Chains A and B, each alone.
Chain A
Amino acid sequence: MSGMTPRENFWRAVNHQEPERVPIFWGGTNSSIVPAHYNALCAALGVRPAVRPVGDFGTVNLQPELKARFHSDVELLILGSPPRRRLEGGVVQDGMWGFRMKEVGGYRTFPDTLAPLRRARNVEDVENHPIWPDPDGAVYCADQRAIAQKLHGTGKIVLGEASYAGAPFFIYPWLRGVDQWMMDPYANPGLYHHLATKITNLSEAILERWLSDVGEYLDVLCFYDDIAMQTGPMVSLDHYRRWILPYERRLVDKARTLTKAKFSIHCCGSCYDLLPGFIEVGYDILNPVQTRAKDMEASRLKKDYGERLCFYGGLDIQRLLPFGTPDEVRQGVKDLIRTLGPGGGFLFATSHNIEPDTPPENIVAMFDAAYELGRYPVGLS
């Protein structure tokens, strides 16, 4: 029977024990819906859309009504951020690191051509960048402790979203351009180390303050690290170990001392080959588990890494959810729960934010199936 709170359920699942039911992670920043489709979903459900729904990563922070409709077990706590500035041509400048974004086709994008450090040649050019976060700034932590306490009091699973202080290798390419981020270790290693270290140090200082306030209330702390494509990792495991892992490990090691939360790493695409590296950094949970990508079949992940990682995500948004029928979606949910659910270690969510070509009836079918079929025991009997 449903005697467990969502939090108790989660802690069993994340510790690889069978909970009462599979926790539903609808409403984490990358298990939400894109802004371009949000109003259509609200209209289909007869729910009033929130006034300013869009969060830091350009996806929707869902209102309670929408979360309740789909049995969500999570509450989101997002690090505070300084105000953005509107520049010309629809470009928006981030207030924390000074990178630039532009709305294209309903998505927030970060074009390489707008990267402010694109032309930097050396350490001095990096230092001359005018906008860096001030770790002592009150904006990051304002009111956060009281909010965290309140969210914790709901008994739901509290997801700490460290936002732009938990994504050093989002910030690097946004400041410098994705292509340069990949080439710098070889073409300009001095600049690479300087910039990566600077981002890590500042992120660490902000995290330290924030977690001192809210760390005790968090169940999950989310970090970001997009380094894989549909067909495989963008970089070799060797590149990851040398040029990314050491910086991330410092952040994670520091954060560990300030919270008992489990650590989630967001990496889209085919990151199977990078999983040993993620485990080495100290991540406990993988998100968004893009099961259509190469080598990312649920059964393979469960068999090879099911004892060491929890899977947060997995329901295919590239084909099944937009193009399947409600019955096919229901079957997909069933298969996923039967594959990833046994023994715990599975947190149900989509394999990324729901896209605009997704019929609302498929979304309803998906969550209702997850709620209904997620009750343990879930294995094939």
Chain B
Amino acid sequence: MFDDLVAALSRGNREKSLSEVNRLLAQGVDPFAIIEQGLMEGMELVGQRFETGEYFLPELLLAGRVIEACTAILKPLLPVDGTRAKASIVLGTVAGDIHDLGKNIVANTLESAGYRVVDVGVDVPAERFLEAVREEKAPVLCLSALLTVTMVEMKKVIDALRGDPELKGVKVLVGGAPLDEEHARKIGADAYGRDARHALLKVRELAV
């Protein structure tokens, strides 16, 4: 039922994907099922192709553009009580760094998986991250950085979070070019996301 949507999304075809979403809705298909079995499957395929080197950034971005357009239609149709909506995830690029391409791709991927993504933007001070986590009751905070110097900022955010008793239990995922598993552990993060697809797998583990 969702094959055409998955295929259109994985090719980055916005018009075809939108018409597929509308066709499925007209048939009475549950919007949540469209997200889970259409958008998520499509993004999963795109992520796999990126990992194997078949796809590059343009293909990821085009798929992200499709996800944005489709979720704009589907989101208002989801139940408001939140019983079926997944957790909120706060994400942003830390202070002193404005690189956001990778962060945006992670945001699209999480969104495609049905998470409510609260993107606090770039060059974000620690306090703003904590504020958003509090407001959204987010179980997971995702931090991005591209510069070696801003890895220090990540640690500041993590330290501030750990120092706040109200936010006990909130998990932190970090990602960005200069990082690796070892460094993520060193700065006190709970997980390291190698790329968007891997970040989603980690968020799934952390957000339970």
Chain A residue numbers with a CB within 8 Å of B207 are none
Picked from B56, B62, B148, B178, the residue with its CB within 8 Å of the CB of A234 is: B56
Q: Which residue from A109, A234, A318, A357 sits with its C-beta under 8 Å from B57?
A: A234
Q: Does B56 lie within 8 Å of A236, measured CB to CB?
A: yes
- Could you tell me if A235 and B65 are in contact, using CB atoms closer than 8 angstroms? no
A-chain residues with CB within 8 Å of residue B62 when the two chains form the complex: 183, 186-187
> Taking the nearest CB of chain A, how far is it from the CB of B89, in angstroms?
21
Contacts A104-B98, A230-B177; is A355 near B148 (CB within 8 Å)?
yes
A258 at the interface (CB under 8 A from B): no
The answer to whether A124 has its CB under 8 Å from any CB of chain B is no
B97 (CB) vs chain A CBs: closest residue: A105
A111 to B122, CA, bound (A): 9
Q: Is the CB of B122 within 8 A of A318?
A: no
User: A241 → chain B, closest Cβ, in Å?
Assistant: 13
B65 touches A183 (CB 8 A): yes
In angstroms, Cα B100 to Cα A182, docked, is 14
A42 to chain B, nearest CB (A): 19
CB distance from A237 to the nearest CB of B (A): 9
CB within 8 Å of B: which A19-43 residues: 36
Interface: A232 (CB within 8 A): yes
Does B101 sit within 8 A of A, measured CB to CB?
A: yes
The answer, yes or no, to whether B123 is at the interface (CB within 8 Å) is yes
Closest residue of chain B to A179 (Cβ to Cβ) is: B61
With A234-B56, A322-B148, A357-B149 in contact, do A112 and B61 touch (Cβ < 8 Å)?
Answer: no
Instruction: Tally B residues with Cβ within 8 Å of A.
Output: 27
Whether A183 contacts B58 in the complex (CB less than 8 A), given A318-B148, A357-B152, comes out as yes
Task: Give A206-249 interface residues, CB cut-off 8 Å to B.
Answer: 229-236, 239
Q: For chains A and B in complex, what number of residue pairs have CB atoms within 8 angstroms?
A: 70
Q: Which residues of B contact A36 (CB under 8 A)?
A: 149
B149/A355 in contact, CB under 8 A: yes
| A104–B123 touching, CB < 8 Å | yes
B58 contacts which chain A residues (CB < 8 A)?
182-183, 185-186, 234-235, 239
A99-127 interface code vs B (CB 8 A; 1 in, 0 out): 00010111101011000000000000000
Cβ contacts under 8 Å, B28 to chain A: none
Interface size class of chain A, counting residues whose CB lies under 8 Å from the partner chain: 20 to 34
**Quick check: is A343 within 8 A (CB to CB) of the other chain?**
no
A residues less than 8 Å from B95 (CB atoms):
105
Q: Tell whether, in the assembled complex, residue A355 and residue B147 are in contact, meaning their CB atoms are under 8 Å apart.
A: yes
A356 at the interface (CB under 8 A from B): yes
B37 near A: Cβ within 8 Å?
no
Complex: chain A residue closest to B13, CB-CB: A186
Q: Taking the complex as formed, is A275 at the interface, i.e. its CB lies under 8 A from any CB of chain B?
A: no
- Contact status B57-A105, CB under 8 Å: no
Contacts of A178 in B (CB 8 A): 101
B102 to chain A, nearest CB (A): 8
Does B42 make an interface contact (CB < 8 A)? Answer: no
Asked if B76 CB lies within 8 Å of chain A CBs, one says no
Cβ proximity bits A262-303 to B, threshold 8 Å, 1 near / 0 not: 000000010000000000000000000000000000000000
- Return A97 CB to nearest CB of chain B, in Å: 19
Q: Is the CB of A356 within 8 A of B57?
A: no
B195 close to A (CB within 8 Å): yes
9 contacts between A and B (CB under 8 A): A36-B149, A105-B95, A111-B98, A182-B57, A183-B12, A187-B65, A239-B56, A317-B148, A355-B147
Having A183-B65, A355-B147, one finds 20 other A-B pairs with CB under 8 Å, namely A104-B97, A104-B123, A105-B95, A105-B123, A105-B147, A105-B150, A111-B122, A178-B101, A183-B62, A186-B58, A186-B62, A229-B57, A230-B178, A232-B53, A232-B56, A234-B56, A235-B58, A236-B56, A269-B177, A355-B149
- The 3 tightest CB contacts between A and B, nearest first, are A105-B96, A230-B177, A182-B58
